[in-house]
Chain A
Amino acid sequence: MTPAPVDWSEHPAAAAMARRHRLRAWEPIPWVAALAFYFLFPKYLGFGTELLITVLFAISLDLVLGYAGIVTLGQAAFFGAGAYTVGMLAKRGIWNEPITGLILAALVAAAVGLGSGLVLLRTQGLTLLMLTLCTMALLEEAANLAHDYTGGFDGLDSLPIAPLLGRFEFNPLYPTTQYLYVLAVLFVCFVFVRTLIYSPFGQSLTGIRENTLRMHAVGAPVRRRLVLCYALSAAIAGVAGGVWAQANAYVNLGTLGLDRAATVLIILVLGGYGRLYGAFVGAVAYMALSHFLSKIYPTAWQLGLGLLLVVIALFARNGILGIAEAAAHRLRTRATP
Chain B
Amino acid sequence: MTAPLLETRALSRNFGALAAARDIDFTLEAGARHALIGPNGAGKTTFVNLLTGVITPTSGTILMKGRDITAVAQAERVKLGIARTFQINRLFRRLSVLENVYIAVAERVGAAPSMFSPAGTRRDVVEESMRLLETVRLTGDASRRISELPYGRQRLVELAIALGLGPEVLLLDEPAAGVPSAESHIILDAIDGLPRDIGVLIIDHDMDLVFRFAERITVMVSGAVFATGSPREIGADASVRAVYLGQRAHG
Contact = CB atoms under 8 A, between A and B. Distances in A.
Direct A–B contact in complex, judged by CB atoms less than 8 Å apart:
yes
B108 interface: yes
B164 to A, nearest CB: 8
A333 interface: no
Contact of B126 (A9, A12, A201, A220): A9
Interface stretch (B11-19, B135-143, B219-227, B234-242): B135-143
Contacts, number: 149
B119 A198 contact: yes
A117 interface: no
Q: Which of A12, A16, A18, A211 has the most CB of B within 10 A?
A: A211
Contacts of A213: 54, 86, 90
Interface string A76-95: 00000000000000000000
A214 B91 contact: yes
Contacts of B164: 218
Q: How large is the interface on A (under 10, 10 to 19, 20 to 34, 35 or more residues)?
A: 35 or more
Interface stretch (A142-150, A174-182, A202-210): A202-210
A8 interface: yes
Interface string A188-201: 00000001101111
A13 interface: yes
B104 A14 contact: no
Given A200-B114, A220-B75, A221-B75, A211 B90 contact: yes
A309 interface: no
Interface string A218-248: 1111100100000000000000000000000
Contacts of A225: 113
B52 interface: yes
A13 B130 contact: yes
Given A11-B139, A219-B165, A21 B113 contact: no
Contact of A200 (B75, B93, B119, B131): B119
A331 B212 CA distance: 50
7 contacts: A13-B142, A17-B96, A18-B121, A18-B126, A198-B119, A201-B114, A201-B115
Interface of A: 1-2, 6, 8-9, 11-14, 16-21, 195-196, 198-204, 206-207, 210-211, 213-222, 225
Given A8-B126, A201-B112, A213-B54, 15 more contacts: A13-B97, A14-B98, A18-B118, A18-B123, A195-B118, A200-B111, A203-B103, A203-B119, A204-B103, A207-B103, A213-B86, A216-B75, A218-B161, A219-B77, A221-B75
Interface of B: 52, 54, 74-79, 83-84, 86, 90-99, 102-104, 106-108, 111-123, 125-127, 130-131, 134-135, 139, 142-143, 161, 164-165, 193
In the complex, the 7 A-B pairs of residues with the closest C-beta atoms, listed nearest first: A219-B78, A13-B142, A8-B130, A21-B118, A18-B120, A210-B92, A17-B120
